[in-house]
A and B are shown apart, each in its own frame.
Chain A
Amino acid sequence: MSIAPDLAIRVDGLFKQYGRMTAVNDVSFDVGQGEFVSLLGPSGCGKTTTLRMIAGFIMPSGGAIHVNGREVTHLPPEKRDVGFVFQNYALWPHMTVAENVAFGLKLRKRSKSFVRQKIEESLAITGLSGYEARLPRQLSGGQQQRVALARALALEPQLLLMDEPLSNLDRALRVTMRRELKQLQSRLNMTTLYVTHDQEEALSMSDRVVIMSGGEIARVARPFEIYEDPQSEFVADFVGTTNFFDGTVLEAEGETGKVRVGPSLQLWIDGDTPMARGSAVRVSLRPERVEVLKERAAGRNVFPASVVFIEYFGPTIRYTVETAAGERLQAEAHNISRPISIGAPVWIRIDPGHFRLIDRKGR
């Protein structure tokens, strides 16, 4: 099989079994040159196992891995020429920052002046100039993470693999490092495969996101597609918060239908496939797409409800509202208008175009 040369990684039908347990089940995806792809999923979904198989730390039970057109499936890690950044940094504690960065170059028997220049360069781009003689334990977590990155970049790898590199940092630093990492990756045009369980990281940094669940791929798409059109219940639920509605189409007008979703609620839903009368549909509705109004307004899908629960997040407030018949939904509003208190009567308005059909086949 010839592999398109512009693919940095191609993973084909990858399997990993531990005894009777299947950790990775028929996983296939690819990563283009210069692309930033995230493997996102809950713990135990197989994302780290997949990454470690690409690095060669774990041998697959089946399937094939190509890196830049070369099959590496069964090569030992030292023959793969891929950079790896570990969750716990994995800096060698008995080597200084400079020695950590130089280690791989010395193994390649590069000249002293070349090694010195590379140390200088990679510490400069990671903002660590002046820390050459420090030992890892004399650095903060964020600095250690930069050393780990410098160590990987010094070898100019064809590909950078990262295993939850920011998860051991506290939140403020994580957000800063996330930006720096993304900017650096764009500047160097470094092909990156990034494992995370943090959806914010995956959505904000990636060109494409591979969502995994139970050892299988649930979805591969660009961040906004994942969030705006999750397509499956797992993705809708795992990425962000959502309202699910199940119902039967009462009236159909092309791609729009009136759907009974509860004892009292009949909602106009704008799907992107023709609606058929009497058919069952399942939709997802993001809470920030629900308008909470103090007075009745014009439009379709306007109905009264009362606030039963309030979660204050700072920039936004999430209201759980309930209709007289007991149907509940969540609405998230910007924290700019006067807050509404529990028990207050409100009007809910939902634009029919904001619903997303779930579990569609053949797409």
Chain B
Amino acid sequence: MKSRVVSLLAPGVGLLVVFVVLPLLWVVRASFNRAVDGAYMVSAFTFENYVRFLGSPWYLVNTLWFSVRIAIVATVVAVLLGYPVALYIARTRGLQKSVLMTMVLSPLLIGLVTLVYGWIVIFRGGGLLNSLMIAMHVYDEPIRYMWDLKGVVILLVYIGMPYIVLSLLDSIERINPALVEAARNVGASPWKAFWKVTFPLTMPGLHAGLVIVFSLNFAAFAIPLMVGANDTQMIGLVIYREALLNNDLPFASALSVIMVAANALILTGMGFVFGKLILKRLEATR
């Protein structure tokens, strides 16, 4: 029995080790190396890459803190927009539900790059949206929708929402309708019943959604690359530039380690807060 479990686990664990753990270890090791002009990199054990990052207000504020802020804003907006959608879909059945689910999931069904190019066609200066709005005399001058911070956030929200909706939907549909009826029965208005019963019980789903979407947003690379501007230096983009354009693999590695560590720290903090608030109660055992 035990050997069968091990043999079933082996392929998955093997893949993880080869394609995630080993590369990560390699990145950690590379982050202590030294970059040399014209060479690949020199094996060393130096903290200079970390010092360069942590000692620079520009990197700390304009890259790390900037990425955290953008990730938080895009995640919060995705939750605010996604929560009502999840509540609504949870009430539907049959064909209506299938149609709505397909609509929500469609961003995940199209490759990210294809999707962003589609957005560009619609939202760029002379794009579909502006032409339409001007033709309909909604406004006269083309409005700038992308190649700035706003565009990056809009797209991050768009990509993040399906994950939020899916994980919330799972939580909402697990709630026994009698729990809400019981709240109404003892005197709660529909609104009170939502805040005191439904909302707390969707915390596991909200937490799962936040973990996924925050991580995706924090490490975003393709979206800031394709619709960003010079002032949208998110950390994923900076890592890409250091590694592939500046050929500074050790510094790019150090940035990666810092990104992973910062993300882990934030997710741990989030897990702690959620655990304290509610998850511990929901997971309590006899």
Given A90-B178, A94-B200, A94-B201, residue A104 in contact with residue B186 (CB < 8 A): yes
A86 neighbours in B (Cβ, 8 Å): 178, 181-182
**Binary interface encoding of chain B residues 166-185 relative to chain A, with 1 for a CB under 8 A from any of its CBs, else 0:** 00000000001011011111
Given A78-B184, A86-B182, residue A137 in contact with residue B285 (CB < 8 A): yes
Question: B179–A90 contact, CB under 8 A?
Answer: yes
Q: Does B282 interact with chain A (Cβ within 8 Å)?
A: yes
A56 neighbours in B (Cβ, 8 Å): 184-185
Given A88-B176, A107-B192, residue A138 in contact with residue B285 (CB < 8 A): yes
Least CB distance from A191 to B in Å reads 16
Q: Does A108 interact with chain B (Cβ within 8 Å)?
A: yes
CA A86 to CA B186, docked complex, whole Å: 13
Which residues of A80-95 are within 8 A (CB) of B?
Answer: 82-84, 86, 88, 90-95
- In this complex, the interface size class of chain A, counting residues with CB under 8 Å from chain B, is 20 to 34
**Binary interface encoding of chain A residues 125-149 relative to chain B, with 1 for a CB under 8 A from any of its CBs, else 0:** 0000000000101100000000000
Question: B179–A137 contact, CB under 8 A?
Answer: no
Q: Does B99 interact with chain A (Cβ within 8 Å)?
A: no
Given A103-B196, A107-B192, residue A77 in contact with residue B181 (CB < 8 A): yes
CA A165 to CA B189, docked complex, whole Å: 25
CA A152 to CA B186, docked complex, whole Å: 8
Given A135-B284, A138-B286, residue A92 in contact with residue B183 (CB < 8 A): yes
Majority-rule SS of B interface residues: helix
Which residues of A93-114 are within 8 A (CB) of B?
Answer: 93-95, 103-104, 107-108
The residue in chain A whose Cβ has the minimal distance to the Cβ of B181 is A57
CA A107 to CA B185, docked complex, whole Å: 11
Given A94-B282, A107-B192, residue A76 in contact with residue B185 (CB < 8 A): no
In this complex, how many residues of chain B approach chain A with their Cβ under 8 Å: the count is 24
A152 neighbours in B (Cβ, 8 Å): 186
Q: Does A72 interact with chain B (Cβ within 8 Å)?
A: no
B190 neighbours in A (Cβ, 8 Å): 76
Contact of A92 among B179, B184, B189, B285 (CB under 8 A): B179
Question: A137–B187 contact, CB under 8 A?
Answer: no
Residue among A57, A90, A95, A104 with max Cβ neighbours from chain B (10 Å): A90
CA A151 to CA B186, docked complex, whole Å: 9
A91 neighbours in B (Cβ, 8 Å): 182
**Binary interface encoding of chain B residues 190-209 relative to chain A, with 1 for a CB under 8 A from any of its CBs, else 0:** 10100011001100000000
**Binary interface encoding of chain A residues 52-74 relative to chain B, with 1 for a CB under 8 A from any of its CBs, else 0:** 00011100000000000000000
Question: A88–B178 contact, CB under 8 A?
Answer: yes
Question: B286–A78 contact, CB under 8 A?
Answer: no
CA A114 to CA B200, docked complex, whole Å: 26
The residue in chain B whose Cβ has the minimal distance to the Cβ of A148 is B182
Given A86-B178, A90-B176, residue A107 in contact with residue B278 (CB < 8 A): no
Contact of B186 among A88, A93, A138, A155 (CB under 8 A): A155
Majority-rule SS of A interface residues: loop
B201 neighbours in A (Cβ, 8 Å): 93-94
CA A152 to CA B187, docked complex, whole Å: 11
Contact of B185 among A55, A88, A95, A137 (CB under 8 A): A55
The residue in chain A whose Cβ has the minimal distance to the Cβ of B178 is A90
A77 neighbours in B (Cβ, 8 Å): 181, 184-185
Least CB distance from B174 to A in Å reads 10
Contact of B187 among A94, A104, A138 (CB under 8 A): A104
Question: A78–B187 contact, CB under 8 A?
Answer: yes
B197 neighbours in A (Cβ, 8 Å): 92
Q: Does B188 interact with chain A (Cβ within 8 Å)?
A: yes
CA A86 to CA B187, docked complex, whole Å: 16
Q: Does B281 interact with chain A (Cβ within 8 Å)?
A: yes
A92 neighbours in B (Cβ, 8 Å): 179, 182-183, 196-197
Question: A137–B184 contact, CB under 8 A?
Answer: no
Least CB distance from B184 to A in Å reads 4
Question: B188–A94 contact, CB under 8 A?
Answer: no
Given A94-B200, A94-B201, A138-B285, residue A107 in contact with residue B187 (CB < 8 A): yes
Contact of B284 among A55, A76, A137, A155 (CB under 8 A): A137
B186 neighbours in A (Cβ, 8 Å): 78, 103-104, 107, 151-152, 155
Least CB distance from B191 to A in Å reads 11
Question: A84–B282 contact, CB under 8 A?
Answer: no
Least CB distance from A57 to B in Å reads 5
Least CB distance from A8 to B in Å reads 17
Least CB distance from A332 to B in Å reads 39
CA A93 to CA B202, docked complex, whole Å: 12
Which residues of A139-171 are within 8 A (CB) of B?
Answer: 151-152, 155
Least CB distance from B206 to A in Å reads 13
Question: A90–B182 contact, CB under 8 A?
Answer: yes
Least CB distance from B18 to A in Å reads 40
Which residues of A312-344 are within 8 A (CB) of B?
Answer: none
A binding-site residues for B, Cβ under 8 Å: 55-57, 76-78, 82-84, 86, 88, 90-95, 103-104, 107-108, 135, 137-138, 151-152, 155
Additional pairs, 7, CB under 8 Å, beyond known A56-B184, A151-B186: A55-B185, A57-B184, A88-B178, A103-B196, A107-B187, A151-B182, A155-B187
What are 22 A-B interface contacts by the 8 Å CB criterion?
A56-B184, A76-B190, A77-B181, A77-B184, A78-B185, A83-B185, A84-B181, A84-B185, A86-B178, A90-B178, A90-B181, A91-B182, A93-B201, A93-B281, A94-B200, A94-B281, A95-B281, A103-B188, A107-B186, A135-B284, A137-B286, A151-B186
